[in-house]
Amino acid sequence: MPAQIDTSVAHSARVWNYWLGGKDNFPADRSAGDAYREKYPLIETFAKESRDFLRRTVTHLARDAGIRQFLDVGAGLPTANNTHEVAQRIAPDARIVYVDHDPLVLLHVHALLTSTPEGATAYVEADMRDTETVLTGAAKTLDLTQPVALVISDVLGHIVDWDDALSLVRRLVDRLPSGSYLSLSHSTASDEAHRAVQDEYNASGAIPYIFREPETTIAFFDGLEMVEPGMVSWPNWRPDANTGTTTARAGWGAVARIP
């Protein structure tokens, strides 16, 4: 195991993996996840809602919008219904590029690089803020002159400065051709108890995550053409038979077309 990975300190990607029922976590992560869940039991439901939002949006993009290229930025640890699995179930020839720079994710990259014979799955090791490296690496697998779905799934809260987060998204969107899409989600505080528990987690030494309200994060979609139903809480984005019925507002997201 690489020396830079400290398994004695909780890591947000591993805690998230734990809440989703994954196996890529350690005692410190499970302890932190249990402590969070004990104080705020809905957190495990929220994690699953976030993942299900990804499943439904990628399904829409591959099935209904006809997208065959996906750029998943800040991919995190592989669990169930990864972007390539969802897309290639619908379109076996779909091509997917994942981006992350976390050494922990690199340990599990083999799980993200499986692919159908007709398609392709690749990985770019880069900080998502280094958009030139992201796009240069993606261009080795994707044709960036043709429509691409840019997927940014609940990771921008790790960028504390709002202007930095907004600039990152705009730099990527501006380099994609007309007919591409942005699928983006972001967590918010469901209530004050949720905010208090997250503040405590952020102060623990773990990688912090900053909640932002949907009235703020909708700015990520400025100049783009929203796909119905627009920006809504995760369970309310085109729910299907597998979507839960919770009405909590822990996260919001949207899909929009790049004109």
Provide the residue count of the chain: 259
The pLDDT of residue 20 is 86
The pLDDT of residue 70 is 98
Written in H, E and C, the secondary structure of the chain is: CCCCCCCCCCCHHHHHHHHCCCCCCCHHHHHHHHHHHHHCCCHHHHHHHHHHHHHHHHHHHHHCCCCCEEEEECCCCCCCCCHHHHHHHHCCCCEEEEEECCHHHHHCHHHHCCCCCCCEEEEEECCCCCHHHHHHHHCCCCCCCCCCEEEEECCHHHCCCHHHHHHHHHHHHHCCCCCCEEEEEEECCCCHHHHHHHHHHHCCCCCCCCCCCHHHHHHHHCCCEECCCCCEEHHHCCCCCCCCCCCCCCEEEEEEECC
pLDDT tens digits in sequence order for the chain, 259 residues long: 444 667 777 777 788 888 888 888 889 889 989 999 999 988 888 888 999 999 999 999 999 999 999 999 988 777 778 999 999 999 999 999 999 887 777 777 777 788 999 999 999 999 999 999 999 999 999 999 999 999 999 999 999 999 999 999 999 999 999 999 999 999 999 889 999 999 998 888 778 899 999 999 999 999 999 999 999 999 999 999 887 666 667 799 999 999 9
The pLDDT of residue 153 is 94
The pLDDT of residue 1 is 41
The pLDDT of residue 24 is 80
CB 159 within 8 A of CB 189: no
The pLDDT of residue 16 is 83
The pLDDT of residue 3 is 42
Report yes or no on whether pTM surpasses 0.85.
yes
Domains of the chain: 12-258 (3.40.50.150)
Phi, psi of 11 (to 5 degrees): -125, 130
The pLDDT of residue 246 is 65
Q: Report the alpha-carbon distance of residue 12 to residue 29 in Å, rounded.
A: 8
Instruction: Of 91, 231, 208, give the one whose Cα is nearest residue 161.
Output: 208
Residues facing residue 27 across a β-bridge: none
The pLDDT of residue 8 is 77
The pLDDT of residue 178 is 98
